[in-house]
């Protein structure tokens, strides 16, 4: 048994901290409503394939390739990165890409083959540049396979305007999709892209095809495990969070040294008739009561020896006009701020991270869809730890260290007294609780001080610290590393670890 495992590495912190960020939408997978300037005036469709084919007809290959490459290269400038870290306090982005973004070899047998494929010769290079630029600023990147061959759903953001989700009905598409995942993971390993926080297998897979979706997840996870069993894999929930949670919990059994699985769910309150029938205040209350499936399933985590992590990959501050018609327009700004804060508060309390939709667009400030605008108005707020100054972190950690012994002793006494009295005659190993408490306290401090300690790249000495986000998965990882799972009294260590994290957080945030 390893009682003193190594401290969290930079890669650990990138992957397991709370992820606060935004989507870099419509850069590698175009959507006309976000970037209409990338479309020709006579373009009828709204998808990537429509934009590129019409541009090729009107302007030729060289001009089209230059236009697309400029779009990718200007997507995330140095000033953007500074704004993301300094103003928005982001520590991650979700980066939607398409199968075509990986290069011409991944366009064969799809509408992107032939001359169209030549537009994407340098696309993957542009993706990697964004990842590397983010690394320099301490920003993690979730690579999201937003558009897969055949379409994972019927929408234009799957890459075409076919209106079909044929990924799930043609083996050749599924095979190519698996090859896409394989290529990405191999690139992450080969080029040591340590700030890649995970790979999302598929964006918004069709609920109607859920049985085929989860079968493909099985195959893709098995393949990834042979290349790198450590990188987190994110799965779209098919708009059915309870089913996706159950699937992830089966995959995250602690006795399996396999890729941690994180469920990506998207939360919008503007598209359904139920949304339209409610006033803004009612929707805000719905947000406050959302994600109950996480709480319900967390009760089974310890008994099932598994872990659960849910990530909100897309959300916005948008409500439909029918919703807004139910209130005086003078109250709209204040209600939008309440709506955004209700969401960010809920995500920070219940999930391992979130990403607003979206960062950039051709028009205005994006309004209720615009991350910059919603940060500016205070609707989207970061976790408190990301707002701490360097001096605050030093001071808080100094105080935590001063109080450490007192809190550990109190926790151990309370734990020992409770169980010794409750189960008289039972042999316990309370030293496991103490070991767990120490590691939990140490890990929580390591995450908060990761920039100060030089673990994470921080070229501009940006303030702010991190906290453990995917806590259940992280605890499972630590239990494996310390050899605790082999003991029937591993629960004592786990209880101690949780209490150590809780005590540290209490000292920091109160």
User: What tens digit of pLDDT does each residue of 116-160 get?
Assistant: 999 999 999 999 999 999 999 999 999 999 999 999 999 999 999
Closest CA to 249 of 323, 324, 301: 301
Nearest residue to 3 (alpha-carbon basis) of 409, 416, 471, 433: 433
84: three-class secondary structure by DSSP: helix
Cβ-count burial 450-469 (b if 16+ within 10 Å, e if not): bbbeebbbbeeebbbbbbbb
Helices (H) and strands (E) in the chain, counts: 18, 8
Per domain, the residue ranges of the chain are: 19-30+76-271+291-321+342-381, 390-509
Please give the average per-residue pLDDT across 411-429, as a whole number: 93
Q: Where residue 219 falls among pLDDT bands split at 50, 70, 90?
A: very high
How large a percentage of the chain has pLDDT more than 90?
A: 90
- Whole-model pTM above 0.85? yes
Neighbours of 9 (CB within 10 A): 13
What pLDDT, on a 0 to 100 scale, did the predictor assign at position 256?
Answer: 77
Q: How many CA atoms lie within 13 A of 482 on its CB side?
A: 25
The stretch 234-248 carries a mean pLDDT of 97
Residue pLDDT, tens place only, 167-195: 999 999 999 999 999 999 999 999 999 99
Q: Read off the tokens for 70.
A: 């400029």
Q: What is the crossing angle of helices 390-422 and 430-448, to 10°?
A: 160
Q: Which helix H or strand E contains 241, and what residues bound it?
A: helix 241-251
Burial of 45 (0-12, 13-18, 19+ CB in 10 A): middle
Indicate whether 246 pLDDT > 90: yes
Domain spanning 19-30+76-271+291-321+342-381: CATH 3.20.20.80? yes
Q: Say what the pLDDT of residue 390 is.
A: 92
Confidence category of residue 42, pLDDT binned at 50, 70, 90: confident
């Amino acid at each position: 048994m390893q009682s003193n495992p190594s401290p969290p590495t930079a890669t650990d912190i990138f992957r397991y901290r709370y992820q606060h960020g935004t989507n870099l939408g419509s850069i590698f997978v175009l959507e006309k409503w976000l970037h209409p300037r990338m479309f020709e005036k006579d373009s009828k469709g709204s998808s990537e394939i429509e934009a590129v084919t019409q541009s090729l007809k009107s302007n030729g290959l060289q001009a089209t390739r230059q236009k697309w490459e400029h779009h990718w290269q200007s997507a995330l400038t140095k000033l953007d990165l500074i704004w993301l870290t300094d103003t928005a306090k982001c520590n991650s982005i979700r980066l939607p890409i398409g199968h075509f973004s990986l290069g011409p070899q991944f366009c064969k047998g799809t509408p992107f083959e032939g001359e169209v494929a030549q537009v994407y010769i340098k696309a993957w290079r542009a993706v990697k540049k964004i990842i590397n630029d983010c690394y320099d600023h301490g920003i993690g990147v979730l690579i999201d396979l937003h558009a897969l061959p055949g379409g994972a759903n019927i929408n234009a953001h799957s890459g075409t305007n076919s209106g079909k989700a044929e990924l799930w009905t043609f083996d050749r598409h599924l095979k190519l999709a698996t090859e896409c995942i394989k290529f990405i993971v191999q690139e992450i390993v080969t080029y040591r892209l340590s700030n890649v926080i995970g790979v999302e297998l598929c964006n918004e897979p069709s609920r109607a095809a859920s049985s085929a979706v989860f079968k493909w997840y099985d195959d893709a996870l098995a393949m990834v495990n042979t290349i790198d069993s450590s990188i987190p894999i994110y799965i779209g929930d098919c708009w059915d969070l309870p089913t996706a949670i159950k699937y992830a919990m089966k995959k995250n059994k602690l006795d399996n040294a396999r890729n941690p699985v994180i469920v990506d769910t998207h939360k919008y309150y503007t598209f359904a008739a139920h949304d339209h029938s409610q006033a803004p205040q009612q929707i805000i209350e719905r947000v406050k009561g959302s994600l109950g499936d996480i709480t319900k399933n967390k009760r089974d985590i310890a008994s099932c020896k598994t872990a659960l992590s849910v990530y909100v990959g897309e959300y916005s501050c948008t409500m439909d006009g029918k919703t807004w018609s139910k209130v005086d327009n003078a109250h709209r700004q204040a209600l939008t701020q309440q709506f955004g804060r209700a969401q960010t508060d809920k995500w920070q309390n219940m999930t391992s991270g979130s990403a607003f939709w979206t960062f950039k667009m051709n028009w205005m400030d994006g309004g209720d869809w615009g991350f910059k605008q919603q940060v500016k108005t205070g609707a989207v707020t970061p976790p408190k730890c990301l707002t701490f100054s360097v001096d605050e972190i030093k001071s808080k950690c100094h105080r935590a260290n001063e109080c450490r012994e007192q809190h550990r002793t109190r926790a151990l006494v309370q734990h020992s007294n409770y169980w010794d009295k409750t189960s008289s005659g039972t042999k316990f190993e309370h030293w496991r609780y103490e070991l767990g408490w120490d590691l939990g306290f140490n890990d929580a401090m390591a995450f908060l001080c990761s920039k100060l300690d030089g673990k994470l790249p921080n070229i501009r000495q940006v303030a702010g610290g991190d906290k453990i986000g995917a806590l259940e998965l992280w605890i499972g990882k630590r239990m494996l590393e310390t050899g605790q799972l082999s003991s029937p009294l591993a629960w004592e260590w786990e209880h101690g670890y949780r209490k150590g994290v809780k005590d540290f957080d209490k000292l920091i945030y109160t």
